[in-house]
Structure 1
Amino acid sequence: MSSRDDILASIRSANRNAGRDGVTVEVPRDYHRREDLPAGSPALLELFVGRLKEYGAEVGLASNEDEVTALINRFLASCDTVVVPSGLPKEWVKAAMAHHRVYLDGPGGQIPSSALDNIDAVLTSSRCGVATTGTIILDATPDQGRRAITLVPDTHVVIVDVGAVRETVGEAFAILSSNPTRPITWIAGPSATSDIELSRVEGVHGPRNLKVILSSLGEN
C-alpha cells in the first residue's frame, strides 16, 4: 500500500467514525473577537493608519465633503482614466469627473477586462477595515463594485468610513456576517509578491498603488 492509500484510508476511517456513539468534533472558536480599542477611538484609527502606511499605502484624512473631494483629486492627479462602480455616491463620481475621463461599471454595462487593463485607476467605497492587520474589506455592494474593477487598474483609491474600522478580524467577520454570500476582497496594502529569489514584484495580483481616504462623514 502506498502513502497515498494510507492517507485516504485514514480519512475514510475518520469519516465513518464521525458522529458515532456521541462522538463530536469541537471546532475551537477562541480567537480574539474584541480587544481594548472601541470603534471610532483615536487610538484605533492611529493603529489603522500606521498599519496601512507600513504596507506602503498612502492615507488621507477627511472630516467633510470638501476634504473628500480634495483627496480624490489629489490621489487621482497622475491618472487620466478612472472606473467607478454604479452605486458610488454622486458627489464622489462628480469629483472624479472634474479632471478625469470616468467610466461607469455596473449591472447595466460591465467594462470588459481587456478595457479595464487600459484604465489607470478605480475609485470605490469599502465595507469595513481591521486596524490590527491594516486590512480593508470590500463585499461587492453597489458602491464598491465587482471584484474585477478593483484588481485590474493600477491604482485603487478607496474611501473607508472611520465608523466601520474595527480592531480585530473577529469583529470584522461580525459585520460581514449580515451578508455572508457576498464575494469578499481583503486588501492589505498595494499588491506585491516575491519569487523564489525574493525579488519583490508589485502589481501582480492587484493595484500597485493603494490610496486610502479615511472619512469621518458618517460621524457628522
Structure 2
Amino acid sequence: MSARDEVLARIRTALGPAREVSEIARAYRTADGRAGAELLDVLTDRLVDYRASVLRCPPGDVAATVSAALHAGLGPGWAAADVVVAPGLPEHWRPAGVREDDGRPAVELAAFAATVTGVAVAIAETGTLVLDGGPRSGRRAVSLLPDCLVCVVEAGQVVGGVPEGLARLEPTAPLTMVSGPSATSDIELQRVEGVHGPRTLVVVLVG
C-alpha cells in the first residue's frame, strides 16, 4: 500500500459509511417585482452609495453625456487621445477623437487615462455592472487597467436581482463584476482606491 492509499483509507475510516446527500433547496426568489423607473432609481442609489458617479440621459444624448462623464472623471483638461473604448461600443455613443481598442498589449492600456465600455447586464439590488468580454464590454484588461472607467448602461439591461442577472449571461464568458470603484482597506482600515482596478467609476444610465 502506498502512502497515498494509506491516507485515503484512514480518511474513509474516519468518515464512516457514506451519508445520504440531502436535496438542495431551490425555492429561493428568482424574480424581482420592481420594474422601469423604480429599478433605475435603485441602481443609481446603490452605485452612489459605492462612491460611483451616475449621469442619466435620454438615448439621443449618450455621446454628450459620455463626454460629461469623462469631464467628471478626469477633469476639464481631458483629451480624447487619452481615452480608449471597447471595439463594439456604438459610434453614436463615442465622443469625437477617442481611440478604439485594437488588441494592443495589455500593459499599453495602462497608459490611457480612461476607458469607455458598455455592459452585459446591471443588477439594481447589488449595484453591480457585469461585463462579459463581448464587443461592447471589451476584453477584461480594457476595463481594469485605465484609472477611470465609464460604463454606459441602457435601461433594458437593468434587472432587479442576481438570479435575473445570471440568467441573462453566458456562464462560460469571462465575467467581470463591478460594484463601485476598485477599493480595499489597509491594516488600519484606511480605504485605498484604485488598487485592483479603476480608481474612478462613472456610469451613464440611458433611459
TM-score exceeds 0.5: yes
2:35 pairs with 1:35: no
Who is 2:4 aligned against? none
- State the number of aligned residues: 193
Show structure 2 runs of 5+ residues with no match.
1-6
* Matched AA of 1:207: P
Aligned to 2:70: 76
**Pick aligned residue for 2:140 from 128, 147, 158:** 147
Deviation per residue, 1:117-148 (Å, 9 max, x gap): 11000100101111111111111111111001
Q: Give yes or no for contact 2:130–2:176 (8 Å, CA) kept in 1.
A: yes
Which whole-Å CA distance do the structure 2 matches of 1:12 and 1:184 have between them? Answer: 40
**Structure 1 residue 115: deviation in Å?**
1.2
Report the Cα offset of residue 88 of structure 1. 1.2
- Show CA shifts across 1:167-187 (max 9, x none): 1111111111xx221111111
Who is 1:118 aligned against?
111
| Structure 1 residues not aligned, in runs of 5+ | none
Distance apart, 1:26 and its partner CA: 2.4
Q: Are 1:197 and 2:188 matched, yes or no? A: yes
Q: Which residue is equivalent to 2:39?
A: 44
Aligned: 1:211 with 2:206: no
Q: In the TM superposition, what is the alpha-carbon distance from 1:196 to its structure 2 partner?
A: 1.7
Give deviations 1:87-118, integer Å, cap 9, x for gaps. 1111223x242xxxx3322xxx4122221111
Q: Which segment drifts farther, 181-190 or 78-87?
A: 78-87
Amino acid at match of 2:69: F
Shift of 1:70: 1.4
With normalisation by structure 1, the TM-score equals 0.80
Please state how far the C-alpha of 1:208 moved relative to its aligned partner: 0.8
Residues in 2 aligned to 1:214 and 1:68: alpha-carbon distance in whole angstroms? 9
Counterpart selection for 2:56 from 54, 61, 69: 61
Query: Stretches of 4+ moved more than 4 A in 1?
Result: 10-14
Code of the residue aligned with 1:9 in structure 2: it is I
Aligned-pair CA distance for 1:210: 0.5
Contact 1:82 1:96 in 2 (8 A): no
| One of 129, 132, 157 as aligned partner of 1:136 | 129
Q: Contact 2:55/2:69 (CA < 8 Å) preserved in 1? A: no
